[in-house]
Structure 1
Amino acid sequence: MKKLVPDPPRFIPAPHLTQAQLETEKANLATCLVDTLDLHAAAAPGPERDNLLQASTYLAELASALNRYRPGAQP
């Protein structure tokens, strides 16, 4: 079976991340979100297309949380 959604970047927030590493992770996540939205736009109507939109929503939520994350900050 062909994979419909790109693999999201691996990211686990950790206090030892530098700001540069965090920016790299943000860029990777944004690229994955754009790729998923491109797949959604090109997909034929149906459940697969709906799944791509749902995956995009989850990726956007993760991106929002990542934008609020501060390395080394206490939760």
Structure 2
Amino acid sequence: MKRVQLPDYLDTTAILERSGNRLIPSSAGWWGERLSVGMTRSGRFACRAVTRHGRDRDAAACVPGKASAGRSGRL
């Protein structure tokens, strides 16, 4: 699985809050890792779990360029 790519304004350790139609960094805290790193790690973990349990239909979503039947390819 390739690394998840996000726009720079979303790929940050800041927790973003909506203020009207703007996203602003929260003053209350931050994430422990960049959003793209966390999403990639979670996706890889999910793919390992799916393929380990032999669910071939779901495992297709973990192969680049393939999508499983009836799914959007999202993890």
| TM-score bracket, shorter-length normalisation | 0.3 to 0.5
Is the strand fraction higher in 1 or 2? 2
**Greater C-alpha Rg:** 2
Question: What TM-score, normalized to structure 1?
Answer: 0.42
Question: What TM-score, normalized to structure 2?
Answer: 0.42
